[in-house]
Structures are given as C-alpha cells and as structure tokens.
Copies of this chain bind each other. A is one copy, B any other.
C-alpha cells in the first residue's frame, strides 16, 4: 500500500543578472522528509520530492534495514507534515545496532553505515559475464540527454538512470542529493522485482566509494558517470569486478575498470575519434 505524493520539482523566483536586469529563474525544490518506521523516527532526508515513496524504500534497502520488499506493508507520504510512515511486517533488522553504527559515519557525505558496507563489499563478486557495447553507451547517453528536465531548468540536482542491456531506459530519477537518486531507483527496482546484474546504471554524479558500493549492492555490473571518480571508488570497482566508466560526455569516455565486458563497436576516424554526426567536444 503506497501513496504517490510527488512534490512539484521546481519553483520560479526573481533574481537579477550581471546587467542588473530582473530575470525569472527556476529553482529546484528541497524538502525535509522525516522517515518513521513502525511509528519510530529513523531519520530526515532532504529531497526534491519527486519519488518519495521509492526513495524511502530504497533507503531502507540500501542501508539494509529491511531485507525483502515483502516485509514492507505500507509507505505513506504526507507532505502536510513532511513525513513518510512505513509499516513493516516484523520490524527492522537490528535497528538499534544499526542506528548506533550510523552515528559513526558521515561520508562525502551521506550518513551511511560505512563500516558495515565495506564488510558487505568483501562478500560481493559480480559475475564476469555480460557485454557492454560502445554503441549502447552512446545510445544511453542520448537518452539521458533528453530526460534531464529539472537539471536543465533549475540545475542543482543530480540524475540517475537504469538501462536494460539494449539501452532501453527503465528508470530516471533526479534529486538534490545524488545518493537520494540512487536510493529511489533501488526502491523502484525492488517494487518492480527488477534485477540489477544485467543492467547499466548511469549517474551524473561523481563515482565516490559510496556510489560504487551502492551499485555493487544492487548487483549492477556496469556503472557509467558523466563526472570523474575517486581512487577509492576505483579500488572498490576493481575488487568487485565492476565495469566503471567515467567522463562519459557526448562521444568521449574513459574506461577506468573493465573485466572484459566492454566491446568497441563504433568505427573511429583517422584521428582516433569515433565517427559522430556533429557532436560537441568534452
């Protein structure tokens, strides 16, 4: 049982530009959403509010506070009180212990159970199978460009997307926090029973350790970002066997890790640049 309580994503405000003219600019929403599980307050998320129910479910999943979607009876979001009420079948996994752990972490930043996540990562090895074609990478890049509506209007948000192996766009979520966008997609996958192992995950955000850890937990084997990555994000991708592609903009990209999935299938010009009809540079 679930509400569908999306907030309007942007609002227009007046501002003055460099020549002193008043201009109207769209600004991204940001709202506190306090999560209650079985009437107990767990935390407050700051969110754009576009997919609050999926966000809450994905947060509980990625923090491993709930093990199976079947354990969740209902998620009800009420923006009059900025609250999300979750009812579970049999309570959260070790809530007290996990809340105690959370106080030890922040991250770059995200309030995640970092120590626990790293322990979890040691047990994850992604299956080396699967193929990720250059033409698929370009196709999904094209699709993302047509979906980033809030970013184009207002900036100040990150987008995440999940793609099928044939570059079909399955989910696209934007949020003020890049980790919220990942969590919301994790929640949607849970609700729809979608497996991650043959999917491609795209994010506009940087590939820090936590982003790679969350993707690995979702069993995503191919992670693509328009931005750069950190040394620890790379180290974890190598450890779990994830194909990691950064700086994917237009026809350019850098493969930072790949255990044999990536296939170059786009002809290049004599200068080494893939053939491209009037694409901009990086």
Could you list which residues of chain A lie within 8 angstroms of chain B, going by C-beta atoms? 10-11, 13, 15-21, 23, 25, 27-32, 34, 41-47, 99-100, 102-112, 114-115, 134, 154-156, 175-177, 179-180, 206-210, 227-234, 246-247, 251-256, 258, 264, 268, 272-274
Known A109-B177, A227-B156, A231-B27; judge A46-B206 contact (CB<8 A).
no
Nearest CB of B to A120, in Å: 15
Copies in the complex: 2
Kindly report which residue of chain B lies nearest to residue A252, judged by CB atoms: B18
B18 contacts A134, C-beta separation under 8 Å: yes
Partner of A41, one of B21, B104, B246: B104
B254 contacts A25, C-beta separation under 8 Å: yes
B108 contacts A46, C-beta separation under 8 Å: yes
9 new A-B contacts, CB < 8 A, other than A46-B208, A155-B247, are A17-B252, A17-B255, A28-B229, A44-B105, A45-B106, A106-B111, A155-B206, A156-B208, A176-B208
Nearest CB of B to A185, in Å: 16
Partner of A256, one of B10, B15, B114, B253: B15
B254 contacts A23, C-beta separation under 8 Å: yes
Chain B residues near A234 (CB-CB < 8 A): 13, 27
Chain B residues near A20 (CB-CB < 8 A): 264, 268
Q: How far is the CA of A179 from the CA of B252 in the complex (A)?
A: 30
